[in-house]
Amino acid sequence: MINIRQLTKHYGANPVLRGIDLDVAAGEFVVVLGQSGAGKSTLLRCINRLAEADSGTLTVAGIDARTCQDTRPLRRQAAMIFQHHNVVPRLSVLKNVLTGRLGAVSTLSSILQLFRRDDVALAMQCLERVELAHKAHERTDALSGGQMQRVGIARALAQRPKVILADEPVASLDPKTARLVLQYLRDATRELGITVVCNLHQVDYAREFGDRIVGLAHGRLVYDGDTAGMTETDLQRIYPGPATDVQDAAQTDPHTHSTALRAGA
């Protein structure tokens, strides 16, 4: 579903991706694990062309994502979920989910916010998958952070994508809510056969939810394997640097997980 070869990306003189090779099969739930600055977001952004890679090849659902002229088909196939749920607060929950259909409706309809009845039915089904159908007509800003992220998942599902790219979708949530949100994401995508690439920096969540873990450190793939096979040595490669660095990062970053600390210790 996703095939990446020797992908590189610089920001100025800063090499951010240094020759990434990665294949993701249809229906897989791959977690990309790595500390802050490892290049996780850049990798995801290159996959749906929010960022331009410098070299290498990249295909997504049969589309050449590096060179395609029109990015709309690519972005229709690869839906994005962000850390800060980026839903529109003043719109109803249902309207937020319907914006996932905008790529599929005409410009005039989208300006007039006219949605076909079957789009509304689809949006409601997607809300049911995240158990928020009863909130459909409430304003989105009345929801909790976890519920807003579930709206973000429903919106991505409503796009009927082949791939969902989730960039630290639970970073701003407490652990209990984070697990619940990841459960909705995994269960819905599994049932629908959607391929997921999910950036996380919490090792425990990666182990719990990933079919497979890809470790990124300083723009290189340093681990690619099943969830059970990841050892402490692998974790040290994913979270490189002396223990004091990791300790410092943990003090400034409330989301760094304790397992990462143990890995660096």
Ligand X SMILES: Nc1ncnc2c1ncn2[C@@H]1O[C@H](COP(=O)(O)OP(=O)(O)O)[C@@H](O)[C@H]1O
Smallest gap, in angstroms, from Cβ of residue 59 to ligand X?
Answer: 21
22-50 burial, b if ≥16 CB within 10 A, otherwise e?
A: bebeeebbbbbbbbeebbbbbbbbbbbbe
Neighbouring residues of 134: CB distance < 8 A, sequence distance ≥ 6? none
Q: Could you say which of 13, 14, 69, 233 contacts ligand X (CB under 6 A)?
A: 14
Q: Which is nearer to Mg ion, 34 or 161 (CB)?
A: 34
Pseudo-torsion of CA 98, 76, 111, 83, nearest 10°? 60
| Min dist. Cβ of residue 194 to ligand X (A) | 22
Give CA separation, 29 vs 3, 32, 98, 144, in Å. 15, 10, 25, 26
Pattern of binders to Mg ion over 23-62, x per CB under 5 A?
-----------------xx---------------------
- Which residue, 48 or 99, is less far from Mg ion as judged by CB? 48
Question: Residues 7, 38, 163, 230: which binds ligand X (CB under 6 A)?
Answer: 38
- Beta strand 195-200 with 78-81 is unpaired
Nearer to ligand X, 138 or 253 (CB): 253
Place of tokens 């949605």: 115
Q: Which is nearer to ligand X, 60 or 98 (CB)?
A: 60
* Closer CB to ligand X, 54 or 187, in the complex: 54
| Residue 14 interaction partner, one of ligand X, Mg ion, none, beta carbon < 5-8 Å per kind | ligand X
Query: Could you tell me the CA-to-CA distances from 10 to 51, 57, 260 in Å, in that order?
Result: 11, 15, 27
Tally helices (H) and strands (E) across the chain: 11, 10
Candidate list 1, 20, 34, 200; residue touching ligand X; CB under 6 A: 34
- Point out which span in 38-46, 63-71, 80-88, 189-197 binds ligand X (CB under 6 A): 38-46
* Contact set with Mg ion (CB under 5 A): 40-41
